[in-house]
Amino acid sequence: MLRKIDYLFIIVAGAIVLFFLAAPPESTIRTPYDDEHQGFNTILKKEGKKAVEKFCDECHSEEAIPLSKDHPPKYRCLFCHKLTPPPEKAQPEKRQK
């Protein structure tokens, strides 16, 4: 026999699942994996996001690549813009016997 607390747990768990299922897909532009950005993956792994974000201003400034007027604070770049992982190396084809 289920108690009131069990029903409450089921309702709360169901609401949490529905909340995540209804979430919109990720729409923020990822940081490209190109010559300018690929070195930051190493820094990210060793020192974390804040260490990498110190370098963003070097290229993404008001003069070079300005941010839109409604852009959030620029000191938290990697909070939204995920670093793109290196492309996976092509897996060698398995030979059929």
Distance CA 60, CA 74 (A): 9
Q: What is the mean pLDDT of residues 64-87?
A: 79
Question: 3-26: per-residue pLDDT in tens?
Answer: 999 999 999 999 999 999 998 887
**pLDDT number for residue 14:** 97
Retrieve residue 36's tokens: 């300018």
Instruction: Confirm if 32 and 84 have CB atoms less than 8 A apart.
Output: yes
Instruction: Confirm if 44 and 83 have CB atoms less than 8 A apart.
Output: yes
Which residues, including other chains, have CB under 8 Å from residue 8's CB and lie 6 or more apart?
none
